[in-house]
Amino acid sequence: KPTLGILDATLYRDDFRTRLKQPEVSVTDITFDITEKDIILIDDVLYTGRTTRAALDALMDLGRPSSIQFCVLVDRGHREMPIKADFIGKNIPTSVNEEVKVKMNEIDDEDAVYLIESPK
C-alpha cells in the first residue's frame, strides 16, 4: 500500500511575492522521509506548469527521491514551463479565457469536471 501525503506548494510559487492579496496557505502533511523513494505527484489540472514546478521545488526541500512521476486528472495545455505529465486522465483543450474546475466526491460531494468562462 502506498504511503500518502499532502503537499502545499504556495510558498514556492514564482508569483508568490507579486500577488497583492494574502495567499491561502494550506498544510503540507508528509510525515515520512521521501529520500530514495519513488514519488507520484498528483494534481487536478495541469495548465502553465508553474504550480508543478513549485511542487517539485517543495518536494526537493523534503528530501531526494529516487524518482518523481507526475499524474494529472486534466491537462488543458498552455504550458509556460517545460513540464509534462507522465499520466493524464483527460486532455481538454481550452482557451485562455476558460477555466477547468475539478470536483471530487470526498471534498465536494460530487465527481465532476467543469469547463467555465473565466471572470474578466
Whether the CB-CB separation of 80 and 48 falls below 8 Å is answered with yes
> Cell digits for 12?
514556492
Q: So what's the pLDDT on residue 15?
A: 83
- Domains of the chain by start residue, with CATH: 10-94 (3.40.50.2020)
Q: Would you say residue 16 has pLDDT above 80?
A: no
Q: In the structure, what pLDDT confidence band is assigned to residue 20 with cuts at 50, 70 and 90?
A: low
pLDDT of res. 26: 85
Q: Which amino acid, residue 35? A: T
DSSP labels, 12-73? G-TTTTT-SSPP-----B--S--TT-EEEEEEEEESSSHHHHHHHHHHHHH---SEEEEEEE
Q: What is the mean pLDDT of residues 21-44?
A: 91
pLDDT of residue 118: 86
Distances (CA, A) of 5 to 34, 90, 114: 10, 24, 26
Three-class DSSP category at 76? coil
How far is it, in rounded angstroms, from Cα 78 to Cα 94? 8
Q: Is the pTM of this model over 0.85?
A: yes
pLDDT digits (tens, 9 = 90+) for 33-84: 999 999 999 999 999 999 999 999 999 999 999 999 999 999 999 999 999 9
